[in-house]
Structure 1
Amino acid sequence: MNNTEQSFLKELDDKLWKAADKLRANLDAANYKHVVLGLIFLKYVSDAFEERQRQLLKMFQTGEADNIYYLPRDDFDSDGDYQQALADELELLDYYREANVFWVPKTARWSTLKEKATLPTGSVLWTDDQGNAVKLRSVSWLIDNALEEIEKSNARLKGILNRISQYQLDNDKLIGLINSFSDTSFSNPEYKGQPLNLHSKDILGHVYEYFLGQFALAEGKQGGQYYTPKSIVTLIVEMLQPYSGRVYDPAMGSGGFFVSSDKFIEQHASEQHYDAAEQKKHISVYGQESNPTTWKLAAMNMAIRGIDFNFGKKNADTFLDDQHPDLRADFVMANPPFNIKDWWSESLAEDVRWQYGTPPKGNANFGWMQHMLHHLAPTGSMALLLANGSMSSNTNNEGEIRKRLIEEDLVECMVALPGQLFTNTQIPACIWFLTKDKGVRSNATGAAFSDRKGQILFIDARNLGYMRDRVLRDFTFDDIAKVTDTFHAWQQGDGYKDIAGFCKFASLDEIKKHDFVLTPGRYVGAEEQIEDGEPFVEKMARLTGQLQEQFAESKRLEAEIKRNLGGIGYEV
């Protein structure tokens, strides 16, 4: 985005967040996020629907599209008949579904919400299919009715839209939120009189993602269960390069990895000379999430961005109720909760997924890893965020599993991350990159990969990043590029070199000498100190002389202080 578009989005974020944050006095972040994100979703589907209506209206009147019914004005006796024919044609559902636009019934459209929300309670809103008068009960009921009508009309959305009446919010507060969203133009936006090249999907997708991050910060530890910091997600996606194929996240939270994969295709379209919209047809996403409200957040996140998804029939435990048992994915990415203790069930004892050893009952880390490997295609690649202990622990069979993974040549790269990256934990973390094929191959972009069998790349990124505030660290674009470029250069054998203190590739024999410990710091060594060119003997003589001068000056100052104190009657 250019600077103008970034400024527009920042001001929009601030404005909408201030409006939403007024609910904090009545609800905690874990609850009011559902109210706010539900309204964002309603605004999106309504905006997209109205945008499609404008396109259709133009085509009805001009006959520009072969597959759209042409309505010439001369075919009608009066202007009233003509306008009614246009209105009737605009209400045909197929015109919207063929363009992958959600159908929004009249009672669920944003214009209806804004108009009806300010009416007195008990006012007649419309008549139902049986001719009965429908009256306004409350603004939260009006919003829930819209969500329900949209679910009824769109099978893909069934069961994913969270109702808000349960939170018992005042009408005035909800009207204020509706007005805040209404005051912003999500279609054909302008900033200080300058038109912006942003579509409603881009803007509302950005707002949704921004709000997820803000709610995660507000919720603290609980918020981190559904939100992985954007810079870490971006780093993993840039390293794996998911241009096409099946993308899977077995601990998907709100679906951040899928959103980033979608953005990745858009951002790299020009440099790879392909059409982004066409390329997206070659990506399919699969996810799983145990928390029911988080499962709904992820589905809404995909719907806002127009990403087709398969999140299983329901929210479910990944280990005990795998929603994609037959899936073999080309890219697997996940940030599961670290070091889960209460994950085990005796039904898992002889599970087919434990190909490299049974994980300890008191820690799920290597359970997640082997579940992901089980679902990885023969030529696929995966990335897994885990606590640093996974790189060195030898307790309860973890060391043996790690040894098997290394001996089977599945580990491709290890990245040590700096601390304070996560909203929900201060536990130091790392990224495991694994693949079942480290031989000569090419990726979806056509880039040729060198034979890296018997090797593992180690990257120590602990010194990268900056403190975004007093609590959280973040990566810059340059930090992400540094790690990503290093990984790709090593994969492709083009321009890679070991850098002391940052990166080094090691053979399996060398790793064996380190007892199969994968901590990057053991391999990359210390950062080289910049030499100033001064011979050691001369430097030592110069520094010794400076030290003697400083000692002498110290003695002089000490004598001066004693003399001054003696002059006023103090003995030292």
Structure 2
Amino acid sequence: MNTTEQQFLKALDDKLWKAADKLRSNLDAANYKHIVLGLIFLKYVSDAFEERQEELKALFQKNDDDNIYYLPRDDFNSDEDYQQAIADELEILDYYQEKNIFWVPRHARWSTLKDTATLAIGSVIWQNEQGEDVKLRSISWLIDNALDEIEKANSKLKGILNRISNYQLDNEKLIGLINSFSDTSFRNPEYQGEKLELHSKDILGHVYEYFLGQFALAEGKQGGQYYTPKSIVTLIVEMLQPFQGRVYDPAMGSGGFFVSSEKFIEEHAKERHYDASEQKKHISVYGQESNPTTWKLAAMNMAIRGIDFNFGKKNADTFLDDQHPDLRADFVMANPPFNIKDWWHARLEEDVRWQYGTPPKGNANFGWMQHMLHHLNDNGSMALLLANGSMSSNTNNEGVIRRKLIEADLVECMVALPGQLFTNTQIPACIWFLTKNKQGKNATAKDGGSAENAGAISGQVDRRGETLFIDARNMGFMKDRVLRDFTREDIATIADTFHAWQQGKSYENKPGFCFAASLEDIQKHDFVLTPGRYVGAAEQDDDGEPFADKMMRLTGLLQEQFSESDRLEEEIKKNFSGLGYHV
């Protein structure tokens, strides 16, 4: 985005958050997020629906031989009949589904919500299917009714959308929130007189992500379970390049990896001369989440963007109640909670997933890793965010498991991250990139995995017996006093380094940043995978002065400075003595 677009989104974020934050006096963040995100959801799906309606309305009236939507005016007896025919056509579900547009029933549309909210409580607002008058009971009831209508029309969202009547908010506060969202132009936006190239989907998707991040900050440690920093998600997606195939996240939170995968496709489809909407049909999304609230947030997040998804029949524990037991994915990405202690159950003894060793009962890190490997097909690749201890710990079988993973040639790349990236923990983190196939683009799938995903996208060469180490601890910037973030340039530097190594193009080891290690190199370090051990120290600029000469010169300079310090100290003592003070 250009600077003007960024300024527009920043002003929009501030405005909407300020409006939403007025609820804080009545509810804590864990509760009022349901109200705010529910309204953003309604606004978003309504805007996308109405945008398609306007497009269809123009198509119905456009006399063009190639236009299959055209409704000839001459086929109708009167202009009134013609306009009614157009209105009837606009309510046909297929026109929206063919463009992957979320269907919004009439009484759930934002225009209905906004207009009805201004009426007096008790006013008749419409007639139901039985011809009975329906009266406005409260604004919270009005919103809940809209959510009911959407769930009835969209079976995948049944039981997903949170109702707000339970929170007992007064009508005026809710009307104020509705007006704040209504007063904002999400379509054809302008900023300081300049028209922007942002679509309503981009804007509201951004707002939804921004609010998730703000709620995660407000909720502290608990909030972090549903939100992974956008820059980290983007980095992983840019490195894995999930352009087609099955994408799985066993600890999906609010679904950030899936959203970034969709954005990746949109951005890179143009480079490959593909139609983005067609390319998205080649991606299948699978996820699992144990927290019921977060599971619902993820489903809403997918619905907002028109992403088809399979999150299992319910929220469930990934280890004890796997919702996708037969899935073998092309890409697996996850940011599970670090170092979970109370995850073990007797049922997990001798589990088929522990192919490289039974994980410690007091730490789930290598349980997550092996669960993900189990769900990876023979050409698949995965990325896993873990605490730094996973790279070096030898306690409770962790060292043994790590060694077996290395000897099986599964570890493709290790990335050490800077601190202060996460809202909910200060534990230093790293990213493990593992793959079932380092052979490159000539690989063939054995269990239904796409051979194209093995290397056709990135043009991989044979990297068997090698692992790339990247030390990114000194990258990024402080976005505020607490949190660090990556710039787009940082993300591109890391991802480009990884792809250059994969492709065998213009890759070079860079001291202090990256190093391609052999299995023998890793063995020398006792199978510890900390990148700092391999990349070494960054090279210092060579000024051409021999080291011995430089040391002699600097030592002499230091002696001169010491002598000058002694002289100044004597001068100060004389001055104090002249004033009658003895130092």
Give 1:68-217 correspondences, 5 Å limit: 70-217=70-217
For residue 550 of structure 1, report the CA deviation from its aligned partner: 1.6
Contact 1:117 1:139 in 2 (8 A): yes
Q: Distance in 2 between matches of 1:157 and 1:198?
A: 28
* 1:404-448 Cα distance to aligned partner (Å, 9 max, x none): 111111111111111111000000111111011111326645443
C-alpha spacing 1:3/1:566, structure 2 compared with 1 (3 Å): closer
1:286 equivalent in alignment to 2:286: yes
Counterpart of 2:565 in structure 1 is 554
1:490 equivalent in alignment to 2:472: no
Counterpart of 2:37 in structure 1 is 37
Q: Distance in 2 between matches of 1:233 and 1:387?
A: 16
SS in 1 for 2:565: helix
Contact 1:59 1:65 in 2 (8 A): no
Q: Distance in 2 between matches of 1:89 and 1:243?
A: 35
Q: How many residues are matched?
A: 572
Contact 2:59 2:67 in 1 (8 A): no
Counterpart of 1:459 in structure 2 is 470
What letter is aligned with 2:220? G
Counterpart of 1:381 in structure 2 is 381
* 1:106-158 Cα distance to aligned partner (Å, 9 max, x none): 21111111111122222222222223322222111100100001110112222
Counterpart of 2:449 in structure 1 is none
What letter is aligned with 1:253? G
* 1:531-566 Cα distance to aligned partner (Å, 9 max, x none): 221233432333233223222222221121211221
Counterpart of 2:515 in structure 1 is 504
Counterpart of 1:2 in structure 2 is 2
* 1:333-361 Cα distance to aligned partner (Å, 9 max, x none): 00000001111111111211111111111
* 1:301-356 Cα distance to aligned partner (Å, 9 max, x none): 11111111111111111111111111100000000000011111111112111111
Counterpart of 1:298 in structure 2 is 298
What letter is aligned with 1:438? K
C-alpha spacing 1:100/1:506, structure 2 compared with 1 (3 Å): closer
Q: Distance in 1 between matches of 2:56 and 2:534?
A: 62
For residue 104 of structure 1, report the CA deviation from its aligned partner: 1.9
C-alpha spacing 1:70/1:272, structure 2 compared with 1 (3 Å): closer
Q: Distance in 2 between matches of 1:250 and 1:267?
A: 25
CA RMSD of aligned residues (A): 1.8
After alignment, is 420-429 or 207-216 more displaced? 207-216
After alignment, is 493-502 or 65-74 more displaced? 65-74
SS in 1 for 2:270: helix
Counterpart of 2:223 in structure 1 is 223
Contact 1:63 1:69 in 2 (8 A): no
SS in 1 for 2:137: coil
C-alpha spacing 1:65/1:57, structure 2 compared with 1 (3 Å): farther
SS in 1 for 2:332: strand
For residue 392 of structure 1, report the CA deviation from its aligned partner: 1.0
SS in 2 for 1:450: coil
* 1:219-244 Cα distance to aligned partner (Å, 9 max, x none): 11111100101111111111111111
C-alpha spacing 1:78/1:272, structure 2 compared with 1 (3 Å): closer
Q: Distance in 2 between matches of 1:454 and 1:72?
A: 67
Contact 2:477 2:487 in 1 (8 A): yes
Contact 2:416 2:531 in 1 (8 A): yes
For residue 274 of structure 1, report the CA deviation from its aligned partner: 2.1
Q: Distance in 2 between matches of 1:279 and 1:144?
A: 35
Unmatched 5+ residue regions in structure 1?
Answer: none
SS in 2 for 1:131: coil
Q: Distance in 2 between matches of 1:397 and 1:326?
A: 27
Give 1:532-551 correspondences, 5 Å limit: 532-551=543-562
Q: Distance in 2 between matches of 1:227 and 1:109?
A: 28
Q: Distance in 1 between matches of 2:187 and 2:65?
A: 22
Unmatched 5+ residue regions in structure 2?
Answer: 443-451
1:256 equivalent in alignment to 2:256: yes
SS in 2 for 1:284: strand
Q: Distance in 1 between matches of 2:25 and 2:472?
A: 40
C-alpha spacing 1:563/1:131, structure 2 compared with 1 (3 Å): same
C-alpha spacing 1:325/1:236, structure 2 compared with 1 (3 Å): same
Q: Distance in 2 between matches of 1:334 and 1:77?
A: 60
TM-score (norm 2): 0.94
Counterpart of 1:450 in structure 2 is 461
* 1:166-218 Cα distance to aligned partner (Å, 9 max, x none): 11112111111111111112222233343332222121111111111111112
Contact 1:107 1:146 in 2 (8 A): yes
For residue 65 of structure 1, report the CA deviation from its aligned partner: 7.9
Q: Distance in 1 between matches of 2:194 and 2:565?
A: 66
TM-score (norm 1): 0.96
Counterpart of 1:265 in structure 2 is 265
Q: Distance in 1 between matches of 2:458 and 2:413?
A: 18
Q: Distance in 2 between matches of 1:544 and 1:524?
A: 31
SS in 2 for 1:6: helix
Sequence identity (%): 80
1:435 equivalent in alignment to 2:462: no
SS in 2 for 1:505: strand
Contact 1:359 1:398 in 2 (8 A): yes
